[in-house]
């Protein structure tokens, strides 16, 4: 026995035999208070005996019969593990036909010739002794029907009837267990193993059922090819009848095993230590169950209680000992023994009778720290007899704690189920009994919980990208958190690509192996929180592989493949490409595509093509690399399936026909020797077809044809195996020549000063000698009728598509002489011109005068000079001058108009007011009307006498009374203006410049009827003249003249173009500028109402 210990050591390493120590041992511990005993401990030495010597006869068995090879291992302790092997130490294969039983025997449901061998060896492994024992080899010879017939024939005469029956099928027969019923007893909590092995041909199939119930779910397993039923952790509820059924095509057999589950004793209530003070009562309870029901017996200090010293305070009542008014001499150790035929239980319970004042075992001033909203457990471990009562207080002078917010445990612990910040403080535990009282203080601190305020989020990233997971935390300031990152609940890889920051994890150059779940764990000494996010690494799919061609036909083949890894992004489709190794080696062409769920496709093939195929997988990220090419497949040659496309016949010269086509591609040839049969004949003429066969070209020229006649043309493909189907005919034309005649009866109708309409008669179709494309009108200005001066002739051209016989000539200059001619156009060019036609445009309104200068200002006169219009557009008959004064408040005065002869270029304007600004409006006139105007402003000089009078009156303005009066007047005016603004605010104040523009037309500024004052006018730049040459009409409209012609009639000139039907698309303007005197036409003149409303 070890010193200071109850451990008994048995050492046989230095001699002695294990058998000498075999037996049952029990330990007893004793002091003055009593004696405790242990369970019985059985010691048995392990054994691995050898197989007994026996003579094994060879087994000869007919094919199809059943066979059992017995192992019968020696009895060992513990039992050995059995397995069958051959001489090469290889395990013998087992199946539904051949299998090992629970007893170690090897069962053959039916033998086959391949079962013949001489080395069936049974091995027994004794794990405790680490030894393996081997049985002698068993020989098995299977007699097949053929060999058996030969043997019988050799031993019988020719006249004997002989012959073994062929292998016959047999219905199942049970090899184990035997009979129709059997019984099985198993202990509660153990593993139940039931076995059924059957013979028969074909090999029977085993099925298990429980009569009157179901096999227990989650605890039932089938082993040894369903020949063994295994139920783990059995209980009394698993008792019942279990039926195994062996079945083949000839019938079935069954066996019923009646299972009874017994139970060694197990505790319901084990006795517990009891501490009593003198005079107290108590009980010891020992309750156990089992099958059969266990017997309960009591011992006191290791002695059966019936013969133990008597104690008047003790009374035994079956499984209970009752103590009444105990005394200190009643202290003892009691043992409860529960036993049946399958085992026993033993438990010690110490009854300690003593008188002790309270003692608190929890250290004083212990600090407890918890997280808010979590339970707080404040311990107060105590001891005393009688059992002390425990009370808790909070604070120095706090009252006793009561209520539902606290839980008081029997061991003295105070539980605060949901601790809050205000739960922090000092708590006092008081323990008292009749012998005394004691107390202890503990401290509670409630901390803020640790939280992840920004958790990592699910991320999808492409391969070789960069990804970052955030983990931002909030914690109690007194706690020091530590952050740990995990990948798939394991440590992060030791890789420099993983960068851990203060509140994030960054992964650089992401690879496929980085795919997984990343968890951020935040730990403090009191709590731990975590958050996870999944990283999905996506990439283009891996290329498909194992391409296979099956079902080869002349015009189709089936291609199948195995998809590569989709790399977390589903494959949406597969693209199939092909290579023609015969005609275009190394060039891959698109064949077809299929959905991503399809891995086979039927492909259409063309003859005479050496096919190779490859497959490309596509997902949302992109396309995979192409697969390895499939094997090559050469299709047989055949006649061409199709003829050349885009056949045309267009002559390049007047006497030829050029026939062109698009050649067939290599795989379209369908065979070697691709050629083309080109045929033609003149249309609407009873001619035979003329044909020629050519190769390696896509053009053929027919010479000596009439000019521009229609031909019927066809081009047919052929190869060494024959012709393609009959081609369709197309119509072509031989070469064009220039048109022969010019359009006749050319007429011109002048619509207005800038627009004319031209008519002509169409030329005969035969004279066009080609495809009629349209007519061209050449026109040019000969001279201006107003100046009688010639200039460089610039011809303009307008083209009118199709068979039109009229067109519009826009953009003509007024009062000018023009010439034009017309020509017909075909694909070859233009025909001869028609005779020149002369026409003249009428007068129009002139442009504005080229300039207006105002010079030599005096007190009452101004000198005006001007230049004639750059474009008079007719004969000038006069100039119109209008002017009006502008006062200091920018109001316009009455308008004066003067008509000036056309031959004048200057004039002196007299009788004007001194020191006055005037605004002038000037334009020219022809018989058609007035042209656009130019404006100018000028000021007459100031009278010197008035200036002197003003200087003498300056001293009045320096007087104080005058200054005060002016200030009062100014204040009154300001108030009136504010009131006026409130009442008349209709759109705000316009800029001064706009007011000047608003009064550009003098005739729309009337005199006020009540006082005769000027209308309103403002100009922020009083001395700056307006820009000259403003000619835009105020109404921005195009004046419609007498013409009703549509814009479709305009041809293609410098600025013209035609749409598909030959109509003209371009610009045309018939705007006419009006005089300011005729109304509100000035480009600078809004209505007078707006001008007045803008003044505040």
* Tens digits of residue pLDDT in 646-697: 999 999 999 999 999 999 988 788 889 999 999 999 998 888 999 999 999 9
Reported confidence tier of residue 789, pLDDT bands at 50, 70, 90: low
| Cα-based angle 525, 527, 532 (whole degrees, multiple of 5) | 125
950 vs 343, which has greater pLDDT? 343
CA Rg value for the chain: 62
Which helix (H) or strand (E) covers residue 1088, if one does?
A: helix 1088-1093
Tokens for 1016?
């309103």
Give residues with Cβ within 8 angstroms of 731, minimum separation 6.
Answer: 649, 683, 710, 711, 712, 713
Above 80 in pLDDT, residue 40?
yes
How many other β-carbons are positioned within 10 Å of the β-carbon of residue 301? Answer: 18
State mean pLDDT over 812-825.
94
State mean pLDDT over 514-527.
95
| pLDDT for the residue 514 | 94
Reported confidence tier of residue 960, pLDDT bands at 50, 70, 90: confident
β-bridge mates for residue 604, sequence order = 556
What is the percent of the chain where pLDDT is above 90?
66
| pLDDT for the residue 958 | 57
Q: What is the rounded CA–CA span in Å between residue 736 and residue 829?
A: 9
Q: What is the rounded CA–CA span in Å between residue 774 and residue 755?
A: 21
| Of the candidates 560, 535, 531, 530, the residue with the CA atom closest to the CA atom of residue 545 | 560
State mean pLDDT over 397-421.
89
| pLDDT for the residue 17 | 80
Above 60 in pLDDT, residue 1052?
no
| Of the candidates 280, 169, 296, 194, the residue with the CA atom closest to the CA atom of residue 245 | 194
Q: What is the rounded CA–CA span in Å between residue 742 and residue 832?
A: 5
DSSP string, 988-1026: -PPPHHHHHHHTSSGGG-PPPTTT-PPBP---SSTTPPP
How many other β-carbons are positioned within 10 Å of the β-carbon of residue 719? Answer: 21
Q: What is the rounded CA–CA span in Å between residue 999 and residue 1019?
A: 10
| pLDDT for the residue 1009 | 38
Q: What is the rounded CA–CA span in Å between residue 396 and residue 381?
A: 21
| pLDDT for the residue 1087 | 34
Backbone angles phi, psi at 153, to 5 degrees: -65, -35
| pLDDT for the residue 86 | 92
| pLDDT for the residue 957 | 54
| Of the candidates 197, 182, 169, the residue with the CA atom closest to the CA atom of residue 253 | 197
* Tens digit of each residue's pLDDT (9 = 90 or more) over 964-974: 888 889 988 98
State mean pLDDT over 295-322.
92
| pLDDT for the residue 336 | 95
Alpha helix (H) ranges present in 93-184? 145-155
Q: Burial level of 446, CB count in 10 A (0-12/13-18/19+)?
A: buried
Mean pLDDT score across all residues of the chain: 85
| pLDDT for the residue 577 | 96
DSSP string, 774-837: EEEEEEEEEEETTT--B-----EEEEEETT--EEEE-SPPSSEEEEEEEEEE-SS-B-PPPPPE
State mean pLDDT over 1080-1092.
34
Q: Are strands 59-62 and 138-143 parallel, antiparallel or unpaired?
A: parallel
| pLDDT for the residue 792 | 64
| pLDDT for the residue 1072 | 37
| pLDDT for the residue 149 | 61
Q: What is the rounded CA–CA span in Å between residue 379 and residue 414?
A: 6
Give residues with Cβ within 8 angstroms of 118, minimum separation 6.
Answer: 58, 137, 139, 140
Q: What is the rounded CA–CA span in Å between residue 248 and residue 108?
A: 15
3-state secondary structure 213-275: ECCCCCCEEEECCCCEEEECCCCHHHCEEEEEEEEECCEEEEEEEEEEEEEEEEEEECCCCEE
Lowest mean pLDDT of 474-488, 612-626, 1073-1087, name the range: 1073-1087
Reported confidence tier of residue 942, pLDDT bands at 50, 70, 90: confident
| pLDDT for the residue 687 | 85
Three-class SS state of 637 = coil
| pLDDT for the residue 1049 | 44
- Sign for the CA dihedral angle at 1005, 1007, 1010, 1012 comes to positive
State mean pLDDT over 978-1003.
53
| Of the candidates 392, 298, 406, 301, the residue with the CA atom closest to the CA atom of residue 345 | 298
Lowest mean pLDDT of 239-253, 311-325, 997-1011, name the range: 997-1011
* Tens digit of each residue's pLDDT (9 = 90 or more) over 829-870: 999 999 999 999 999 999 999 999 999 999 899 999 999 998
Cα 1034 to Cα 784, 1074, 1086, distances in angstroms? 29, 9, 9
* Tens digit of each residue's pLDDT (9 = 90 or more) over 355-393: 889 999 999 999 999 999 999 999 999 999 888 999 999
Above 70 in pLDDT, residue 550?
yes
Backbone angles phi, psi at 969, to 5 degrees: -60, -45
State mean pLDDT over 707-724.
94
Reported confidence tier of residue 791, pLDDT bands at 50, 70, 90: low
Reported confidence tier of residue 155, pLDDT bands at 50, 70, 90: low
State mean pLDDT over 769-788.
89
Please say whether the beta carbons of 812 and 818 come within 8 A: yes
| pLDDT for the residue 768 | 93
């Amino acid at each position: 026995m070890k010193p200071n210990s109850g451990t008994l050591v048995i050492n046989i390493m230095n001699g002695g035999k294990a058998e000498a120590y075999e037996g049952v041992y029990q330990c007893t511990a004793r002091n003055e208070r009593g004696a405790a005993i242990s369970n019985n401990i059985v010691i048995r030495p392990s054994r691995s005996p050898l197989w007994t010597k026996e003579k094994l006869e060879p087994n000869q068995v007919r094919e199809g019969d059943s066979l059992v090879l017995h192992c019968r291992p020696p009895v060992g302790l513990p039992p050995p593990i059995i397995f069958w092997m051959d001489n090469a130490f290889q395990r013998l294969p087992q199946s539904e036909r051949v299998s090992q039983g629970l007893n170690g025997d090897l069962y053959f449901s039916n033998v086959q010739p391949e079962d013949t061998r001489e080395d069936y060896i049974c091995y027994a492994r004794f794990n405790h002794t680490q030894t393996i024992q081997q049985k002698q080899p068993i020989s098995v010879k299977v007699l097949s029907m053929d060999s058996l017939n030969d043997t019988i024939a050799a031993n019988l005469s020719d006249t004997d009837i002989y012959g073994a029956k062929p292998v016959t099928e047999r219905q199942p027969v049970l090899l184990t267990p035997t009979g129709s019923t059997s019984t099985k007893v198993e202990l509660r909590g153990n593993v139940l193993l039931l076995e059924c092995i059957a013979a028969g041909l074909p090999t029977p199939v085993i099925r298990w059922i429980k009569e009157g119930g179901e096999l227990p779910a989650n605890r039932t397993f089938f082993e040894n090819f369903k020949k063994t039923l295994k139920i783990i952790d059995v209980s009394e509820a698993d008792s019942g009848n279990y039926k195994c059924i062996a079945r083949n095509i000839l019938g079935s057999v069954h066996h019923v095993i009646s299972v009874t589950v017994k139970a060694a004793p197990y505790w319901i209530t084990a006795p517990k230590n009891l501490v009593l003070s003198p005079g107290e009562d108590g009980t010891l309870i020992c309750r156990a169950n089992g099958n059969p029901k266990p017997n309960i017996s009591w011992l006191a200090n290791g002695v059966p209680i019936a013969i133990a010293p008597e104690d008047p305070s003790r009374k035994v009542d079956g499984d209970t000992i009752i103590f009444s008014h105990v005394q200190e001499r009643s202290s003892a150790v009691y043992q409860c023994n529960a036993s049946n035929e399958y085992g026993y239980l033993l438990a010690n319970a110490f009854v300690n009778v003593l008188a002790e004042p309270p003692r608190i075992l929890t250290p004083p001033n212990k600090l407890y720290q918890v997280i808010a909203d979590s339970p707080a457990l404040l311990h107060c471990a105590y001891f005393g007899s009688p059992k002390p009562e425990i009370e808790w207080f909070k604070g120095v002078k706090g009252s006793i704690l009561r209520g539902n917010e606290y839980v008081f445990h029997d061991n003295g612990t105070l539980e605060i189920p949901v601790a809050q910040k205000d739960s922090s403080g000092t708590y006092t535990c008081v323990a008292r009994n009749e012998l005394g009282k004691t107390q202890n203080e503990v401290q509670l601190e409630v901390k803020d919980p640790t939280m992840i305020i920004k958790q990592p989020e699910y991320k999808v990233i492409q391969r070789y990208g960069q990804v970052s997971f955030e983990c931002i935390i909030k914690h109690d300031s007194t706690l020091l958190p530590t952050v740990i990152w995990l990948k798939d609940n394991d440590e992060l890889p030791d890789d420099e690509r993983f960068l851990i920051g203060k509140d994030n994890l960054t992964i650089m150059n992401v690879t496929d192996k980085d795919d997984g779940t990343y968890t951020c764990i935040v730990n403090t000494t009191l709590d731990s929180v975590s958050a996870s996010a999944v990283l999905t690494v996506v990439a283009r799919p891996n290329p498909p592989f194992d391409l296979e061609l099956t079902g080869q036909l002349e015009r189709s083949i089936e291609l199948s493949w195995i998809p590569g890894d989709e790399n977390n992004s589903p494959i949406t489709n597969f693209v199939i490409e092909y290579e023609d190794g015969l005609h275009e080696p190394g060039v891959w062409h698109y064949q077809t595509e299929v959905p991503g769920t399809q891995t086979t496709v039927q492909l259409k093939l063309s003859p005479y093509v050496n096919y190779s195929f490859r497959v490309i997988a596509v997902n949302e990220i992109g396309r995979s690399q192409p697969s390895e090419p499939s094997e090559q497949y050469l299709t047989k040659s055949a006649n061409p399936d199709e003829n050349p496309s885009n056949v045309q016949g267009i002559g390049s010269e007047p006497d030829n026909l050029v026939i062109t086509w698009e050649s067939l591609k290599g795989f379209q040839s369908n065979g070697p020797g691709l050629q083309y049969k080109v045929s033609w004949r003149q249309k609407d003429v009873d001619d035979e077809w003329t044909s020629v066969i050519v190769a390696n070209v896509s053009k053929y020229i027919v010479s000596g044809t009439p000019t521009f006649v229609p031909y019927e043309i066809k081009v047919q493909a052929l190869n060494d195996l024959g012709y393609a189907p009959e081609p369709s005919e197309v119509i072509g034309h031989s070469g064009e020549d220039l048109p022969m005649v010019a359009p006749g009866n050319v007429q011109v109708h002048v619509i207005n000063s800038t627009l004319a309409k031209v008519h002509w008669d169409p030329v005969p179709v035969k004279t066009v000698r080609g495809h009629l494309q349209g007519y061209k009108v050449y026109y040019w200005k000969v001279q201006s009728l107003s100046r009688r001066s010639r200039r460089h002739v610039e011809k303009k051209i307008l083209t009118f598509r199709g068979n039109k016989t009229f067109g519009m000539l826009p953009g003509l200059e007024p009062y000018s002489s023009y010439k034009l001619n017309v020509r017909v156009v075909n694909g070859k060019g233009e025909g001869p011109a028609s005779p020149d036609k002369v026409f003249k445009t009428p007068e129009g309104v002139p442009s504005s005068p080229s300039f207006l200068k105002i010079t030599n200002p005096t007190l009452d006169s101004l000198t005006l000079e001007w230049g004639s219009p750059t474009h008079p557009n007719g004969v000038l008959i006069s100039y119109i001058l209008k002017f009006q004064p502008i006062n200091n408040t920018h109001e316009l005065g009455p308008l004066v108009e003067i008509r000036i002869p056309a031959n004048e270029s200057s004039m002196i304007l007299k009788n004007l007011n001194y020191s006055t600004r005037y605004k002038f409006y000037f334009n020219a006139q022809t018989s058609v009307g007035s042209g656009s105007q130019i404006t100018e402003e000028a000021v007459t000089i100031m009278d010197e006498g008035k200036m002197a009078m003003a200087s003498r009156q300056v001293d009045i303005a320096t007087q104080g009374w005058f200054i005060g009066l002016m200030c009062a007047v100014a204040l009154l005016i300001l108030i009136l203006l504010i009131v006026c603004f409130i009442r008349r605010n209709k759109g705000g104040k316009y800029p001064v410049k706009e007011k000047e523009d608003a009064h550009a037309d003098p005739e729309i500024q009337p005199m006020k009827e009540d006082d005769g004052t000027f209308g309103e006018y403002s100009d922020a730049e009083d001395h700056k003249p307006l820009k000259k040459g403003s000619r835009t009409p105020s109404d921005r409209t195009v004046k419609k003249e007498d013409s009703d012609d549509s814009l479709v009639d305009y041809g293609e000139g410098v600025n013209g173009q035609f749409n598909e039907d030959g109509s003209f698309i371009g610009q045309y303007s018939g705007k006419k500028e009006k005089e300011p005197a005729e109304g509100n036409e000035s480009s600078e003149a809004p209505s007078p109402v707006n001008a007045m409303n803008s003044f505040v």
